[in-house]
Amino acid sequence: MSNKMWGGRFGEGPDRIMEEINASIGFDQRFFAQDIRGSKAHAAMLAEKGIISREDADKIVAGLDAVLSEIEGGKFDFRRDLEDIHMNVESRLADLIGAAAGRLHTARSRNDQVATDFKLYIRDTLDHLDEQLRDFQLALVARAQEHAATIMPGFTHLQTAQPVTFGHHCLAYVEMAARDRGRLADARKRLNECPLGSAALAGTSFPIDRHMTAKALGFDAPTRNSLDAVSDRDFVLETLSAAAIAATHLSRLAEEIVIWSTPGFDFVRLPDSFTTGSSIMPQKRNPDAAELVRAKSGRVIGALTSLLIVMKGLPLAYSKDMQEDKEAAFDALDALSLSLAAMTGMVRTLTVNETAMRAAASRGFSTATDLADWLVRALGLPFRQAHHVTGALVAKAEKKGADLDALSLAEMQEVEPGITDEVYSVLGVDNSVASRTSFGGTAPENVREAAKRWGEALGQAGQ
Protein backbone atom coordinates (compact mmCIF):
# COMPACT_ATOMS: atom_id res chain seq x y z
CA MET A 1 0.00 0.00 0.00
CA SER A 2 1.26 3.46 -0.77
CA ASN A 3 1.66 6.02 2.03
CA LYS A 4 -1.75 7.23 3.03
CA MET A 5 -0.51 10.72 3.91
CA TRP A 6 1.35 11.57 0.70
CA GLY A 7 0.83 8.58 -1.57
CA GLY A 8 -1.60 10.22 -4.04
CA ARG A 9 0.60 9.85 -7.07
CA PHE A 10 2.35 6.65 -6.02
CA GLY A 11 1.31 3.30 -7.47
CA GLU A 12 3.00 1.07 -4.93
CA GLY A 13 4.41 1.25 -1.42
CA PRO A 14 8.06 1.72 -0.52
CA ASP A 15 10.62 -1.00 -0.35
CA ARG A 16 11.21 -2.24 3.22
CA ILE A 17 14.68 -0.75 3.16
CA MET A 18 13.33 2.54 1.86
CA GLU A 19 10.91 2.61 4.76
CA GLU A 20 13.68 1.87 7.21
CA ILE A 21 16.05 4.53 5.96
CA ASN A 22 13.29 7.11 5.57
CA ALA A 23 11.52 6.79 8.90
CA SER A 24 12.34 9.08 11.79
CA ILE A 25 9.54 8.00 14.12
CA GLY A 26 12.01 5.92 16.14
CA PHE A 27 13.56 9.12 17.44
CA ASP A 28 11.35 12.12 16.58
CA GLN A 29 8.50 10.69 18.68
CA ARG A 30 10.38 12.43 21.44
CA PHE A 31 8.85 15.74 20.48
CA PHE A 32 5.25 14.62 20.34
CA ALA A 33 4.25 17.25 22.91
CA GLN A 34 5.85 20.07 20.90
CA ASP A 35 4.27 18.76 17.68
CA ILE A 36 0.81 18.72 19.20
CA ARG A 37 1.29 22.12 20.78
CA GLY A 38 2.28 23.57 17.40
CA SER A 39 -0.67 21.93 15.66
CA LYS A 40 -3.16 23.29 18.19
CA ALA A 41 -1.83 26.81 17.73
CA HIS A 42 -1.99 26.39 13.94
CA ALA A 43 -5.61 25.11 14.03
CA ALA A 44 -6.72 27.95 16.29
CA MET A 45 -5.14 30.48 13.92
CA LEU A 46 -6.73 28.87 10.83
CA ALA A 47 -10.15 29.22 12.47
CA GLU A 48 -9.48 32.77 13.61
CA LYS A 49 -8.64 33.74 10.04
CA GLY A 50 -11.68 31.93 8.65
CA ILE A 51 -9.51 29.46 6.72
CA ILE A 52 -11.21 26.51 8.42
CA SER A 53 -14.49 26.50 10.35
CA ARG A 54 -14.54 27.04 14.09
CA GLU A 55 -16.31 23.72 14.40
CA ASP A 56 -13.54 21.83 12.60
CA ALA A 57 -10.90 23.64 14.62
CA ASP A 58 -12.60 22.65 17.87
CA LYS A 59 -12.74 19.04 16.74
CA ILE A 60 -9.08 19.16 15.75
CA VAL A 61 -7.97 20.65 19.06
CA ALA A 62 -10.02 18.17 21.12
CA GLY A 63 -8.73 15.33 18.96
CA LEU A 64 -5.11 16.46 19.39
CA ASP A 65 -5.62 16.50 23.15
CA ALA A 66 -6.91 12.94 22.94
CA VAL A 67 -3.83 11.92 20.91
CA LEU A 68 -1.64 13.61 23.50
CA SER A 69 -3.15 11.64 26.35
CA GLU A 70 -2.84 8.40 24.38
CA ILE A 71 0.86 9.05 23.87
CA GLU A 72 1.41 10.14 27.46
CA GLY A 73 -0.48 7.10 28.68
CA GLY A 74 1.72 4.79 26.61
CA LYS A 75 -1.31 3.74 24.57
CA PHE A 76 -0.17 5.08 21.21
CA ASP A 77 0.95 2.80 18.43
CA PHE A 78 3.85 4.54 16.68
CA ARG A 79 3.93 3.28 13.12
CA ARG A 80 7.04 3.24 11.00
CA ASP A 81 5.05 3.19 7.78
CA LEU A 82 3.81 6.65 8.80
CA GLU A 83 7.41 7.83 8.78
CA ASP A 84 7.55 10.51 11.44
CA ILE A 85 5.84 12.05 14.44
CA HIS A 86 3.96 14.60 12.31
CA MET A 87 2.21 11.99 10.20
CA ASN A 88 1.69 9.60 13.09
CA VAL A 89 -0.17 12.28 15.02
CA GLU A 90 -2.18 13.45 12.04
CA SER A 91 -3.14 9.93 11.02
CA ARG A 92 -4.34 9.08 14.51
CA LEU A 93 -6.24 12.36 14.58
CA ALA A 94 -8.06 11.24 11.43
CA ASP A 95 -8.95 7.92 13.12
CA LEU A 96 -10.41 9.86 16.02
CA ILE A 97 -12.22 12.79 14.38
CA GLY A 98 -12.61 11.83 10.72
CA ALA A 99 -12.49 14.20 7.77
CA ALA A 100 -11.87 17.41 9.73
CA ALA A 101 -8.34 16.11 10.49
CA GLY A 102 -7.47 16.60 6.85
CA ARG A 103 -7.87 20.36 7.24
CA LEU A 104 -5.11 20.71 9.85
CA HIS A 105 -2.33 20.61 7.27
CA THR A 106 -3.73 23.63 5.37
CA ALA A 107 -1.13 26.37 4.90
CA ARG A 108 1.76 24.45 6.41
CA SER A 109 4.20 21.71 5.49
CA ARG A 110 6.21 19.24 7.46
CA ASN A 111 9.18 21.46 6.68
CA ASP A 112 8.00 24.40 8.76
CA GLN A 113 6.36 21.99 11.19
CA VAL A 114 9.56 20.10 12.00
CA ALA A 115 11.56 23.31 12.31
CA THR A 116 8.97 24.64 14.76
CA ASP A 117 8.82 21.42 16.77
CA PHE A 118 12.57 21.17 17.03
CA LYS A 119 12.91 24.79 18.10
CA LEU A 120 10.32 24.26 20.80
CA TYR A 121 12.13 21.11 21.93
CA ILE A 122 15.56 22.77 21.98
CA ARG A 123 14.11 25.75 23.84
CA ASP A 124 12.73 23.46 26.57
CA THR A 125 16.06 21.66 26.74
CA LEU A 126 17.99 24.92 27.03
CA ASP A 127 15.79 25.96 29.95
CA HIS A 128 16.40 22.64 31.67
CA LEU A 129 20.16 22.80 31.11
CA ASP A 130 20.21 26.30 32.52
CA GLU A 131 18.62 25.08 35.75
CA GLN A 132 21.09 22.21 35.93
CA LEU A 133 24.03 24.55 35.42
CA ARG A 134 22.73 26.73 38.22
CA ASP A 135 22.55 23.70 40.54
CA PHE A 136 26.11 22.85 39.56
CA GLN A 137 27.20 26.39 40.40
CA LEU A 138 25.41 26.31 43.75
CA ALA A 139 27.15 23.05 44.65
CA LEU A 140 30.52 24.60 43.81
CA VAL A 141 29.77 27.82 45.69
CA ALA A 142 28.88 25.85 48.83
CA ARG A 143 32.22 24.00 48.64
CA ALA A 144 34.02 27.30 48.03
CA GLN A 145 32.46 28.82 51.15
CA GLU A 146 33.46 25.79 53.17
CA HIS A 147 37.00 25.71 51.76
CA ALA A 148 37.82 29.39 51.29
CA ALA A 149 41.03 28.90 53.28
CA THR A 150 41.83 25.27 52.46
CA ILE A 151 45.26 25.26 50.90
CA MET A 152 46.14 23.13 47.90
CA PRO A 153 48.86 23.28 45.30
CA GLY A 154 48.02 25.30 42.21
CA PHE A 155 49.50 23.74 39.10
CA THR A 156 50.84 24.78 35.75
CA HIS A 157 51.90 21.95 33.45
CA LEU A 158 50.53 19.78 36.30
CA GLN A 159 53.72 20.75 38.16
CA THR A 160 53.33 22.43 41.53
CA ALA A 161 53.32 26.16 40.83
CA GLN A 162 51.98 28.26 43.71
CA PRO A 163 49.67 27.50 46.60
CA VAL A 164 46.01 28.35 46.02
CA THR A 165 42.84 27.64 47.96
CA PHE A 166 40.45 24.86 47.10
CA GLY A 167 37.63 27.39 47.30
CA HIS A 168 39.31 29.46 44.61
CA HIS A 169 39.61 26.39 42.44
CA CYS A 170 35.89 25.66 42.85
CA LEU A 171 34.98 29.22 41.94
CA ALA A 172 36.98 28.92 38.72
CA TYR A 173 34.36 26.41 37.54
CA VAL A 174 31.54 28.66 38.74
CA GLU A 175 32.85 31.30 36.34
CA MET A 176 33.02 28.81 33.45
CA ALA A 177 29.48 27.63 34.16
CA ALA A 178 28.31 31.25 34.18
CA ARG A 179 29.72 31.75 30.70
CA ASP A 180 28.13 28.45 29.62
CA ARG A 181 24.79 29.73 30.84
CA GLY A 182 25.37 32.95 28.96
CA ARG A 183 26.03 31.05 25.74
CA LEU A 184 22.91 28.92 26.17
CA ALA A 185 20.83 32.01 26.93
CA ASP A 186 22.21 33.64 23.82
CA ALA A 187 21.30 30.62 21.70
CA ARG A 188 17.82 30.67 23.19
CA LYS A 189 17.35 34.33 22.38
CA ARG A 190 18.38 33.88 18.76
CA LEU A 191 16.32 30.74 18.15
CA ASN A 192 13.14 32.27 19.48
CA GLU A 193 11.53 33.12 16.13
CA CYS A 194 8.72 30.98 14.80
CA PRO A 195 9.07 29.16 11.44
CA LEU A 196 5.44 27.99 11.38
CA GLY A 197 3.59 29.25 8.30
CA SER A 198 6.72 29.34 6.14
CA ALA A 199 5.14 26.21 4.64
CA ALA A 200 7.26 24.06 2.32
CA LEU A 201 9.69 26.86 1.44
CA ALA A 202 7.89 29.77 -0.22
CA GLY A 203 5.18 30.78 2.25
CA THR A 204 1.50 30.27 1.48
CA SER A 205 -1.34 31.89 -0.40
CA PHE A 206 -3.73 31.44 2.53
CA PRO A 207 -4.32 34.57 4.62
CA ILE A 208 -2.61 33.20 7.74
CA ASP A 209 -1.54 35.21 10.76
CA ARG A 210 1.98 34.15 11.62
CA HIS A 211 2.21 36.65 14.44
CA MET A 212 -0.66 34.92 16.15
CA THR A 213 0.92 31.44 16.06
CA ALA A 214 4.32 32.84 17.02
CA LYS A 215 2.79 34.47 20.07
CA ALA A 216 0.75 31.42 21.04
CA LEU A 217 3.91 29.30 21.03
CA GLY A 218 5.93 31.74 23.11
CA PHE A 219 8.14 32.97 20.27
CA ASP A 220 9.20 36.61 20.12
CA ALA A 221 8.20 36.95 16.45
CA PRO A 222 7.73 34.95 13.26
CA THR A 223 10.84 34.30 11.16
CA ARG A 224 11.21 36.81 8.35
CA ASN A 225 12.24 34.64 5.40
CA SER A 226 10.48 31.40 4.51
CA LEU A 227 13.49 29.85 2.75
CA ASP A 228 15.70 30.54 5.73
CA ALA A 229 13.07 29.38 8.20
CA VAL A 230 12.70 25.87 6.82
CA SER A 231 16.39 25.31 6.18
CA ASP A 232 17.87 26.89 9.29
CA ARG A 233 19.50 24.51 11.69
CA ASP A 234 21.91 27.00 13.20
CA PHE A 235 19.79 26.98 16.32
CA VAL A 236 20.82 23.35 16.78
CA LEU A 237 24.42 24.04 15.84
CA GLU A 238 24.64 26.96 18.21
CA THR A 239 23.12 24.94 21.03
CA LEU A 240 25.50 22.07 20.35
CA SER A 241 28.48 24.35 20.24
CA ALA A 242 27.55 25.91 23.58
CA ALA A 243 26.90 22.38 24.86
CA ALA A 244 30.29 21.19 23.60
CA ILE A 245 32.04 23.98 25.48
CA ALA A 246 30.08 23.23 28.65
CA ALA A 247 30.85 19.52 28.31
CA THR A 248 34.52 20.38 27.88
CA HIS A 249 34.46 22.28 31.16
CA LEU A 250 32.85 19.34 32.91
CA SER A 251 35.42 17.04 31.38
CA ARG A 252 38.29 19.10 32.77
CA LEU A 253 36.84 18.97 36.27
CA ALA A 254 36.19 15.27 35.82
CA GLU A 255 39.83 14.78 34.88
CA GLU A 256 40.90 16.68 37.99
CA ILE A 257 38.70 14.53 40.18
CA VAL A 258 40.21 11.42 38.60
CA ILE A 259 43.71 12.72 39.35
CA TRP A 260 42.88 14.06 42.82
CA SER A 261 41.34 10.78 43.92
CA THR A 262 44.34 8.61 43.04
CA PRO A 263 46.30 7.43 46.09
CA GLY A 264 49.29 9.42 44.77
CA PHE A 265 47.37 12.67 45.28
CA ASP A 266 44.69 11.66 47.76
CA PHE A 267 43.19 15.19 47.71
CA VAL A 268 39.58 14.05 47.52
CA ARG A 269 37.62 10.92 48.22
CA LEU A 270 34.44 10.19 46.33
CA PRO A 271 31.67 8.56 48.31
CA ASP A 272 30.70 4.93 47.64
CA SER A 273 27.68 6.26 45.79
CA PHE A 274 29.89 7.74 43.07
CA THR A 275 32.54 5.04 42.79
CA THR A 276 32.69 1.40 41.79
CA GLY A 277 34.86 -1.45 42.95
CA SER A 278 36.98 -3.80 40.91
CA SER A 279 35.96 -7.41 40.50
CA ILE A 280 39.54 -8.56 41.02
CA MET A 281 41.34 -5.87 43.05
CA PRO A 282 39.49 -5.45 46.35
CA GLN A 283 41.27 -2.21 47.28
CA LYS A 284 40.06 -0.28 44.22
CA ARG A 285 37.67 2.67 44.33
CA ASN A 286 37.25 3.67 40.74
CA PRO A 287 35.93 7.14 39.85
CA ASP A 288 33.78 5.76 37.01
CA ALA A 289 31.26 8.59 37.06
CA ALA A 290 34.02 11.17 36.61
CA GLU A 291 35.62 9.10 33.86
CA LEU A 292 32.29 8.85 32.05
CA VAL A 293 31.68 12.58 32.31
CA ARG A 294 35.11 13.02 30.74
CA ALA A 295 34.23 10.57 27.98
CA LYS A 296 30.74 11.85 27.28
CA SER A 297 32.14 15.21 26.23
CA GLY A 298 33.25 13.29 23.14
CA ARG A 299 29.65 12.61 22.18
CA VAL A 300 28.75 16.26 22.46
CA ILE A 301 31.71 17.44 20.44
CA GLY A 302 31.03 14.66 17.93
CA ALA A 303 27.39 15.69 17.52
CA LEU A 304 28.41 19.25 16.76
CA THR A 305 30.91 18.04 14.18
CA SER A 306 28.51 15.65 12.51
CA LEU A 307 25.73 18.20 12.17
CA LEU A 308 28.14 20.78 10.77
CA ILE A 309 29.12 18.20 8.16
CA VAL A 310 25.49 17.33 7.39
CA MET A 311 24.64 20.97 6.81
CA LYS A 312 27.65 22.31 5.00
CA GLY A 313 26.78 21.10 1.51
CA LEU A 314 23.02 21.58 1.48
CA PRO A 315 21.52 23.96 -1.04
CA LEU A 316 18.43 25.86 0.13
CA ALA A 317 15.88 24.95 1.21
CA TYR A 318 14.92 21.65 2.90
CA SER A 319 16.66 18.37 2.10
CA LYS A 320 16.02 15.10 3.85
CA ASP A 321 19.60 15.17 5.11
CA MET A 322 18.24 17.54 7.73
CA GLN A 323 16.30 14.74 9.36
CA GLU A 324 19.73 13.60 10.59
CA ASP A 325 19.86 16.64 12.87
CA LYS A 326 17.90 14.95 15.61
CA GLU A 327 19.54 11.77 16.86
CA ALA A 328 22.94 13.28 17.41
CA ALA A 329 21.45 16.36 19.08
CA PHE A 330 19.24 14.30 21.39
CA ASP A 331 22.16 12.07 22.30
CA ALA A 332 24.48 15.00 22.96
CA LEU A 333 22.01 17.02 25.02
CA ASP A 334 21.05 13.94 27.05
CA ALA A 335 24.73 13.26 27.67
CA LEU A 336 25.32 16.82 28.84
CA SER A 337 22.32 16.72 31.14
CA LEU A 338 23.40 13.44 32.70
CA SER A 339 26.98 14.68 33.03
CA LEU A 340 25.79 17.80 34.82
CA ALA A 341 23.72 15.77 37.24
CA ALA A 342 26.62 13.42 37.96
CA MET A 343 29.13 16.22 38.35
CA THR A 344 26.87 18.18 40.67
CA GLY A 345 26.42 15.05 42.77
CA MET A 346 30.18 14.48 42.96
CA VAL A 347 30.93 18.08 43.88
CA ARG A 348 28.35 17.94 46.66
CA THR A 349 29.53 14.67 48.14
CA LEU A 350 33.28 14.42 47.71
CA THR A 351 35.35 14.58 50.88
CA VAL A 352 38.27 16.99 50.87
CA ASN A 353 41.51 15.78 52.44
CA GLU A 354 42.82 19.09 53.74
CA THR A 355 45.93 17.52 55.26
CA ALA A 356 47.03 15.93 51.99
CA MET A 357 46.31 19.09 50.02
CA ARG A 358 48.29 21.23 52.44
CA ALA A 359 51.22 18.82 52.53
CA ALA A 360 51.35 18.75 48.72
CA ALA A 361 51.14 22.54 48.57
CA SER A 362 54.13 22.81 50.87
CA ARG A 363 56.25 20.51 48.73
CA GLY A 364 57.75 21.39 45.39
CA PHE A 365 59.03 24.87 46.30
CA SER A 366 55.58 26.34 45.77
CA THR A 367 56.53 29.55 47.59
CA ALA A 368 59.56 30.28 45.43
CA THR A 369 57.69 33.16 43.77
CA ASP A 370 56.91 34.60 47.21
CA LEU A 371 60.62 34.46 48.00
CA ALA A 372 61.50 36.24 44.77
CA ASP A 373 58.83 38.88 45.43
CA TRP A 374 60.23 39.36 48.96
CA LEU A 375 63.74 39.93 47.54
CA VAL A 376 62.26 42.65 45.33
CA ARG A 377 60.28 44.25 48.16
CA ALA A 378 62.73 43.95 51.05
CA LEU A 379 66.10 44.17 49.30
CA GLY A 380 65.13 46.22 46.27
CA LEU A 381 66.49 43.65 43.77
CA PRO A 382 65.21 43.86 40.21
CA PHE A 383 62.75 40.96 39.66
CA ARG A 384 64.95 39.22 37.10
CA GLN A 385 67.84 39.12 39.59
CA ALA A 386 65.51 38.06 42.41
CA HIS A 387 64.33 35.20 40.16
CA HIS A 388 67.95 34.16 39.65
CA VAL A 389 68.79 34.27 43.38
CA THR A 390 65.66 32.28 44.19
CA GLY A 391 66.64 29.72 41.56
CA ALA A 392 69.99 29.27 43.28
CA LEU A 393 68.25 28.85 46.66
CA VAL A 394 65.86 26.25 45.19
CA ALA A 395 68.83 24.33 43.79
CA LYS A 396 70.50 24.39 47.20
CA ALA A 397 67.37 23.14 48.93
CA GLU A 398 66.86 20.47 46.30
CA LYS A 399 70.44 19.24 46.84
CA LYS A 400 69.71 19.03 50.54
CA GLY A 401 66.47 17.19 49.83
CA ALA A 402 64.52 19.78 51.79
CA ASP A 403 62.06 22.59 51.28
CA LEU A 404 63.01 26.25 51.07
CA ASP A 405 62.13 27.02 54.69
CA ALA A 406 64.49 24.25 55.83
CA LEU A 407 67.51 26.25 54.62
CA SER A 408 69.27 28.02 57.47
CA LEU A 409 69.77 31.77 57.34
CA ALA A 410 73.49 31.20 56.90
CA GLU A 411 72.87 28.92 53.90
CA MET A 412 70.63 31.56 52.36
CA GLN A 413 73.15 34.31 52.97
CA GLU A 414 75.79 32.31 51.09
CA VAL A 415 73.64 32.96 48.02
CA GLU A 416 72.45 36.49 48.85
CA PRO A 417 74.11 38.20 51.83
CA GLY A 418 71.30 40.75 52.23
CA ILE A 419 68.70 38.12 53.27
CA THR A 420 67.41 38.48 56.86
CA ASP A 421 65.30 36.09 58.92
CA GLU A 422 62.22 38.09 57.96
CA VAL A 423 62.31 35.92 54.82
CA TYR A 424 60.83 32.94 56.69
CA SER A 425 57.54 34.77 57.04
CA VAL A 426 56.88 34.53 53.29
CA LEU A 427 57.95 30.90 52.90
CA GLY A 428 54.86 29.42 54.53
CA VAL A 429 51.90 28.49 52.32
CA ASP A 430 49.41 30.35 54.53
CA ASN A 431 51.29 33.59 54.14
CA SER A 432 51.61 32.94 50.46
CA VAL A 433 47.87 32.58 49.80
CA ALA A 434 46.93 35.32 52.27
CA SER A 435 49.13 37.74 50.33
CA ARG A 436 47.34 37.10 47.00
CA THR A 437 44.79 39.83 47.55
CA SER A 438 44.86 41.32 44.05
CA PHE A 439 41.42 41.40 42.41
CA GLY A 440 40.60 37.84 41.36
CA GLY A 441 43.47 36.43 43.44
CA THR A 442 43.32 33.37 45.67
CA ALA A 443 43.51 34.97 49.17
CA PRO A 444 40.91 33.44 51.51
CA GLU A 445 39.32 36.84 52.11
CA ASN A 446 38.85 37.27 48.35
CA VAL A 447 37.40 33.77 48.04
CA ARG A 448 34.96 34.36 50.90
CA GLU A 449 33.82 37.58 49.30
CA ALA A 450 33.52 36.07 45.79
CA ALA A 451 31.63 33.03 47.10
CA LYS A 452 29.25 35.29 48.97
CA ARG A 453 28.60 37.36 45.85
CA TRP A 454 27.96 34.22 43.79
CA GLY A 455 25.65 32.84 46.46
CA GLU A 456 23.62 36.03 46.32
CA ALA A 457 23.61 36.20 42.54
CA LEU A 458 22.42 32.59 42.32
CA GLY A 459 19.76 33.05 44.99
CA GLN A 460 21.43 30.56 47.32
CA ALA A 461 19.12 29.49 50.15
CA GLY A 462 20.01 31.15 53.45
CA GLN A 463 21.65 34.18 51.89
Window contacting ligand ARG (CB under 6 A); options: 61-69, 110-118, 220-228, 343-351: 110-118
238 contacts: CB under 8 Å, gap ≥ 6 = 186, 187, 190, 191
Catalytic residue (one of 2, 53, 69, 278): 278
Shortest Cβ distance from residue 159 to ligand ARG (Å)? 51
235 contacts 229 by C-beta, under 8 angstroms: no
Query: Is 232 in a helix, a strand, or coil?
Result: coil
Alpha-carbon gap, residue 451 to 148, rounded angstroms:
8
Catalytic residue (one of 157, 205, 273, 408): 157
Among this protein's residues, is 157 annotated catalytic? yes
Shortest Cβ distance from residue 322 to ligand ARG (Å)? 5
Shortest Cβ distance from residue 218 to ligand ARG (Å)? 22
Alpha-carbon gap, residue 356 to 181, rounded angstroms:
34
Write the binding mask 156 to 195 for ligand ARG: x where contact by CB under 6 A, - elsewhere. ----------------------------------------
Q: Judged by CB under 6 A, does residue 111 bind ligand ARG?
A: yes
Q: Judged by CB under 6 A, does residue 24 bind ligand ARG?
A: yes
Which CB atom, from 84 or from 135, has the smaller least distance to ligand ARG?
84
Q: Which positions from 293 through 352 interact with ligand ARG, judged by CB under 6 A?
A: 318, 320, 322-323
Alpha-carbon gap, residue 221 to 197, rounded angstroms:
12
Element (H, E) at 274: none
Q: Judged by CB under 6 A, does residue 416 bind ligand ARG?
A: no
Among this protein's residues, is 249 annotated catalytic? no
188 contacts 123 by C-beta, under 8 angstroms: yes
Q: Judged by CB under 6 A, does residue 88 bind ligand ARG?
A: no
Which CB atom, from 117 or from 373, has the smaller least distance to ligand ARG?
117
Q: Judged by CB under 6 A, does residue 84 bind ligand ARG?
A: yes
DSSP character for 276? B
Shortest Cβ distance from residue 318 to ligand ARG (Å)? 5
Alpha-carbon gap, residue 291 to 255, rounded angstroms:
7
Q: Which residues of 20-46 are buried (b: 16+ CB within 10 A; e: fewer)?
A: eebbbbebbbbbbebbbbbbbbbbbbb
Q: Judged by CB under 6 A, does residue 114 bind ligand ARG?
A: yes
Strands 193-194 and 221-222: parallel
Q: Judged by CB under 6 A, does residue 432 bind ligand ARG?
A: no
Catalytic residues: 157, 278
Residues forming contacts to ligand ARG in the complex (CB under 6 A) are: 24, 28, 84, 110-111, 114, 318, 320, 322-323
